[in-house]
Amino acid sequence: MYPLELTVNGRSCQVAVDFKTTLLEVLRDKLFITSPKVGCNTGDCGTCSVLLNGKLVRSCITNALSAQGKEIITVEGIAKAGELHPLQEAFHENYGAQCGFCTPGMILASKALLDENPKPTREEAKEALSGNLCRCTGYVKILDSVMAAAEKMGGPQGS
């Protein structure tokens, strides 16, 4: 076992892992953070997405030891002082979620997009979400939610 120190949603965490442990296993099984979901376990569906030092990663294929000393943000970590993040509000207001299984990954993929490009076009938002699969929707309400959040956060809505 190897010691792993990382910051998750602003909280310093120390756990012991073996060299094959994934970041998803650390989050769910050791830290009991369940928003990153076990979907495909091959990095294809996006349900396990988290932000690692601000970059969107698939935690199911990210070795936990590669996160040593880094900051991980899950969907729980984007709300501040009890207030929902504008993306969380927009997903709620625009019916961007149905069953909710993909929603944490969709929101974090959207956050990564808006952090890099606060004024995306609808096509740019589609591209940013292309690695996240949803079984319930046709993606229209999800894209509406991203564009509404971008507008709410100060970027004019793209075409």
29 and 36 Cβ atoms separated by less than 8 Å: no
The stretch 73-77 carries a mean pLDDT of: 97
pLDDT > 70: percent of the chain: 97
pLDDT tier for residue 158 given thresholds of 50, 70 and 90: very low
Computed over every residue of the chain, the mean pLDDT equals 94
| pLDDT of 155 over the 70 cut | no
What is residue 114's predicted lDDT score, i.e. its pLDDT? 97
What is residue 154's predicted lDDT score, i.e. its pLDDT? 83
Q: Which helix or strand (DSSP H or E) is residue 149 part of? A: helix 140-152
Q: Which helix or strand (DSSP H or E) is residue 14 part of? A: strand 11-17
pLDDT > 90: percent of the chain: 91
What is residue 66's predicted lDDT score, i.e. its pLDDT? 98
What is residue 156's predicted lDDT score, i.e. its pLDDT? 53
Domain 86-152 class in CATH: mainly alpha
Q: Is the dihedral of CA 100, 101, 107, 110 positive or negative?
A: negative
The stretch 114-120 carries a mean pLDDT of: 96
What is residue 137's predicted lDDT score, i.e. its pLDDT? 79
| pLDDT of 157 over the 70 cut | no
Alpha-carbon distance of 96 to 15, in angstroms, equals 35
Using DSSP bridges, classify how beta strands 2-8 and 11-17 pair: parallel, antiparallel or unpaired: antiparallel
The residues, any chain, with a CB within 8 Å of residue 84's CB and separated by 6 or more, are: 92
Span between the terminal Cα atoms of the chain, in Å = 51
- Among 141, 132, 136, 142, CA closest to 37: 132
> Environment class of residue 46 by beta-carbon count within 10 Å: exposed (0-12), middle (13-18) or buried (19+)?
buried
The alpha helices in 34-120, defined as continuous H runs, are 86-93, 103-116
Domain 2-77 matching CATH 1.10.10.10: the answer reads no
CA angle, corner 13, sides to 100 and 21, nearest 5? 70
Backbone angles phi, psi at 4, to 5 degrees: -130, 125
The stretch 109-119 carries a mean pLDDT of: 97
Indicate the domain borders of the chain. 2-77, 86-152
Token pair belonging to 137: 């929707």
What is residue 159's predicted lDDT score, i.e. its pLDDT? 43
Q: Which helix or strand (DSSP H or E) is residue 76 part of? A: none
What is residue 121's predicted lDDT score, i.e. its pLDDT? 96
Residues 13-36: tens digit of each pLDDT? 999 999 999 999 999 999 999 999
